[in-house]
């Protein structure tokens, strides 16, 4: 009996060992690492700040990040054969994170501008934006940019809106990490106006027309680009070629219509 038990034990240990080795085989190591890398899609990290609807925001129902930028970068990855890993962070830190290589791609409604071009490389423009002003719905004193003098202006920190607000004579500029908090400050009277990207203002004002209205039209024209680390031409070329493929196959226009609500201009995306 003792002998039998020992045999049974050996048998069980043997089975266990076989089971383990099979599990290891289950992972696709398939011999050399080189062979594995050729088949695996590269995965790039994508940074964005998610209080910027309709470009990037958290879907209230699903809790997932969504918007024009999010779907666009995923679609670029699909046609160019790479996966993306979404990473939310403060807007102010995105260009620096791409510059140092902590993040592969910055896709966050980032305006292509002189000082940023010194830090990172940008894709071809994929969206034409501009700045605009939001005030409380019952505001009567502020009807345009000239009325912002000496007023308290809420902005998102590190944005072109923040830069613009600081050029206004006598204005007090109040920085916020999130656009939604800056808007709240206008609503509760802590600030008189918000200066921020026009299409984003439009989205939030349409969401709460009893709280907010837009005044003064489009102040400044800007183009959004997707940022990569300086000299990362391999990734930049993938992004540019992806944008052009999505333009040709109609997917760019579909996403644009879905999120912006109108047809994209003929020249976008493009030089």
Per CB under 6 A, residues contacting ligand ARG are: 48-49, 52, 56, 91, 108-111, 156, 159-160, 179, 197
88 CB burial (10 A radius; 0-12, 13-18, 19+): middle
Please, are residues 154 and 182 in contact by the beta-carbon 8 Å criterion?
yes
Q: Which is nearer to ligand ARG, 48 or 252 (CB)?
A: 48
Minimum CB–partner distance for residue 31 and ligand ARG (Å): 44
Q: Among 70, 71, 72, which Cα is nearest to 50's?
A: 70
CA-CA distance, 174 to 153, in Å (whole number)?
Answer: 6
Task: Kindly tell me which of 37 and 161 has the beta carbon lying closer to ligand ARG.
Answer: 161
Q: Which helix (H) or strand (E) segment is 175 a member of?
A: strand 172-176
Provide the minimum distance between the beta carbon of 24 and ligand ARG in the complex, in angstroms, as a whole number: 43
* Residue number with CB closer to ligand ARG (42 or 177): 177
Q: How far is the CB of 33 from ligand ARG (least distance, A)?
A: 37
Smallest separation, CB 86 to ligand ARG (Å)? 12
Nearer to ligand ARG, 110 or 165 (CB): 110
Give residues with Cβ within 8 angstroms of 255, minimum separation 6.
68, 71, 72, 75, 246
Nearer to ligand ARG (CB atom), residue 56 or residue 80: 56
Nearest approach in angstroms of CB 179 to ligand ARG is 6
Residues 6+ apart with CB under 8 A from 94: 47, 48, 49, 103, 106, 108, 110, 227
How many whole angstroms separate alpha carbon 258 and alpha carbon 246?
14
Output the smallest distance, CB 49 to ligand ARG, in A: 4
Residue bearing tokens 């809420």? 154
Our CB check for ligand ARG shows the closer of 73 and 110 to be 110
The token duo for 100 is 């140092």
């Amino acid at each position: 009996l003792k002998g039998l038990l020992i045999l049974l034990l050996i048998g069980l240990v043997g089975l266990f060992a076989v089971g383990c080795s099979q599990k290891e085989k289950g992972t696709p190591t398939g011999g050399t690492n080189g062979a594995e890398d050729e088949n695996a899609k590269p995965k790039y990290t994508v940074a964005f700040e998610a209080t910027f609807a309709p470009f990037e925001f958290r879907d209230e129902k699903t809790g997932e990040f969504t918007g024009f930028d999010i779907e666009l970068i995923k679609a670029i990855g699909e046609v160019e054969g790479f996966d993306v890993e979404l990473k939310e962070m403060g807007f102010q830190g995105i260009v620096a994170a791409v510059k140092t290589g902590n993040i592969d791609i910055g896709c966050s409604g980032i305006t292509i501008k002189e000082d940023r071009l010194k830090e990172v490389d940008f894709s071809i423009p994929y969206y034409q934006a501009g700045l605009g002003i939001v005030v409380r719905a019952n505001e009567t004193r502020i009807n345009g940019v000239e009325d912002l003098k000496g007023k308290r202006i809420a902005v998102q920190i590190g944005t072109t809106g923040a830069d613009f607000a600081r050029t206004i004579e006598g204005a007090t500029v109040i920085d916020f990490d999130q656009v939604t908090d800056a808007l709240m400050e206008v609503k509760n009277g802590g600030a008189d106006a918000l200066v921020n990207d026009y299409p984003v203002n439009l989205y939030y004002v349409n969401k709460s027309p009893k709280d907010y209205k837009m005044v003064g039209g489009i102040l400044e024209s800007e183009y959004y680009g997707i940022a990569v680390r300086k000299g990362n031409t391999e990734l930049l070329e993938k992004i540019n070629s992806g944008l052009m493929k999505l333009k040709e196959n109609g997917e760019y226009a579909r996403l644009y219509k879905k999120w912006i609500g109108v047809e994209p201009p003929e020249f976008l995306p493009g030089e």
